[in-house]
Chains A and B, each alone.
Chain A
Amino acid sequence: EIVMTQSPATLSVSLGERATLSCRASQSLSNNYLAWYQQKPGQAPRLLIYYASTRATGTPARFSGSGSGTEFTLAISSLQSEDFAVYYCHQYTTWPYTFGQGTKLEIK
């Protein structure tokens, strides 16, 4: 099983600032099969990024994904109030699918 490790667990950032979230896989993800999801309280996760860097339909351009192999990053430029949520990375290279433990993005 591929273990996904996200850091930090909690990130405090001011409105309008940039946030950078990290995700590390315990083994290389072929084809960069890595997705990012946003989850708000009481809601289902929402797909933001797939194939490590492709924005899903409806994802604002301030969200960008990068990385390859075992190291991946989600960057959010100019944070808006609606961006404060929990973010999960997810590998779909092999079964079982696995997720990181999440990064909670909170207002500073």
Chain B
Amino acid sequence: QVQLVQSGAEVKKPGASVKVSCKASGYTFTRYYMHWVRQAPGQGLEWMGIINPNSGSTSYAQKFQGRVTMTRDTSTSTVYMELSSLRSEDTAVYYCGRTYSNYDQLDYWGQGTLVTVSS
């Protein structure tokens, strides 16, 4: 069965960086795109960007340009999302989610990773 398993919760200080992983299983990793979506406490969903695990190409939401980097490791079927220059407003649950094409519904999601930014 399809599973997206994310790394554990993180606590970071303002100005630091965080790297969250998302390990895929149960399907051919390179055939599906992966997205990152975040959710601040009590708030809605916010799309951060997409990575093509086959080519490694990425596209980021303008809001995160220059601060976010998405990468993948095909040998372990894992995608990574690194967010730098953290501020308190980045405190959120970060989710990975897959789509079959680059314009598609998110059919499977990871369990989420809470990132807390606090001094």
Contacts and interface: CB of A to CB of B under 8 A. Distances in A.
B105 A47 contact: yes
Interface string A6-44: 000000000000000000000000000101010000001
Contacts of B112: 44
B84 to A, nearest CB: 19
Given A95-B50, A96-B61, A96-B62, A45 B106 contact: yes
Interface string B90-108: 0000010101000111111
Interface of B: 35, 37, 44-47, 50, 59, 61-62, 95, 97, 99, 103-112
Main secondary structure of the interface of A (DSSP, over half): loop
B108 to A, nearest CB: 8
From A44, A50, A90, residue with most partner B Cβ within 10 Å: A44
B45 A92 contact: no
A72 interface: no
Nearest to A99: B45
B119 to A, nearest CB: 26
Nearest to A4: B44
A44 B105 contact: no
Contact of B103 (A33, A100, A101): A33
